[in-house]
Chain A
Amino acid sequence: MKNQLFFLLLLLVSSIHAQELYINTEPASNMPARSLAIKQSVKFFSASNGAINNTRYATELMLGANKNLMLHAAATYGTINNTPFGLESIRAYGKYRFFSADGMYSHFRMAAFAEIAHSNTKPMYQELSLQGDHSGMQAGLVFTQLLHKLAVSSTVSYLSVNGISKNHQLQMGYSTAAVNYSLSFGHLIFPKKYTSYNQTNFNIYAEFLGQTLKGGQKSYLDFTPGLQLIFNSKIKLNVSHRYALHSSMTRMAPTSWMIGGEWLFLNIYKK
């Protein structure tokens, strides 16, 4: 395990081009102004015996409102916790880039984000998430450094659940707030040299996602390696696997797989 991580980090540090089109997190950079992206994904959660026990679909619309502001609207649906297939949650997200220092092949950017979610599901676990499981709010900061050979992005946020989710967590004696953090790396494998927008890009990602519940006793740290293909500089195909390096809380599943597509439409409306 340690060797795998070391190898991956070495690969990232020695990369030629860095990528920050992360699969599981958002970079501080935004989409271009007046562009729209549609993201469709499905996540398979596996029980400890390896059997898939939950399937969650997510559809997300992302809009570059202007050069600094990006807005998302998302819905999750599926068969979660043995419920019939149906709508599970809705979510709105906004991110504002407030700092940008661009070099020739580098940049450092900072952004603040906030999101609000409403979920129909009855939460059963200590883990807190606005990606379908709980109703609540989250706000945080994103820092992204692109350094030609390395793209590193980090997020720190505070999440608080509310409504039925909060009541339910309290009934179970669980925490209702958490600090989330992430550290993501991205690396372009192909093409070695860009000659056209039609070249298929192949990127690999390594993302660490962590959560510490309020009170500080319960936490997890997940590792999510991922692969990404980009066709015609327009369509992304993402695959990622998530598993816990450490966990001291009850969760829906110790591991999950995610596969998704994303379509980008530039200049969807005039100024």
Chain B
Amino acid sequence: MKKVFVFICCLCALTSQAQVQKVNLQASGLTCAMCSKAIYKAVTALSFVDTVTVDIEASTYELRFKKEATPMFDQIAKAVVDAGFSVAKLSADIKFDKQAVDKNGETELDGIRYKIVANAPGILQGTKKMQFVGKPYMLPKDFKKIAQVNTTGIDAKTYLVMIK
């Protein structure tokens, strides 16, 4: 009986584990600690964010999320912009379990739709680092380097990503 209980507990722990394990954010347009703190406070205040680890010198932030909470990537980018700065890079470590990707490179996980903009595999397996593509998530010079992505017919809520 005890073993069964432990097994159920383990199962619950596994199933409640968030698919988005962490987000790495790099902010641009700042060199001061006071500015960095403004971003830190802005992302910490987001309802789905649990912990934020910062490297002030590199202007990078690692965000981890509350259990059962769905991270909203657009809200993270908006928090940085509201603090007065820009997002240089945003990527998420997402855990997939035999996740099917359609012929357009699109897939949905935890109610979040992603479109893989280049070299989309048919199935996603294991933890993948997804880098967000688009003006709100990249330095202008990095955005220019990316070939034009055909966004016709894509829902505005779909995130464009590259597998790193």
Contacts and interface: CB of A to CB of B under 8 A. Distances in A.
B40 interface: yes
Contacts of A105: 28, 30-31, 59
B29 A146 contact: yes
B42 interface: yes
Contacts of A146: 29-31
Interface string A199-210: 101000000000
Contacts of B85: 102
Interface of chain B: mostly helix, strand, loop or mixed: mixed
A19 B56 CA distance: 15
Contacts of A106: 29
Interface in A231-248: 233-234
Interface of A: 17-21, 29-35, 64, 66-67, 100-107, 146, 148, 151, 188, 193-197, 199, 201, 230, 233-234, 264, 266-267
B32 A21 contact: yes
A267 B42 contact: yes
Given A103-B139, A195-B56, A266-B41, A32 B32 contact: no
A29 B35 CA distance: 11
B109 interface: no
Interface stretch (B17-25, B65-73, B76-84, B118-126): B76-84
A66 B78 CA distance: 12
B107 interface: no
Interface in B15-64: 28-34, 36-38, 40-42, 45, 56-57, 59
Nearest to B86: A102
B81 A230 contact: no
A103 B29 contact: yes
A161 to B, nearest CB: 33
A102 B56 contact: no
Contacts of A30: 84
A107 B41 contact: no
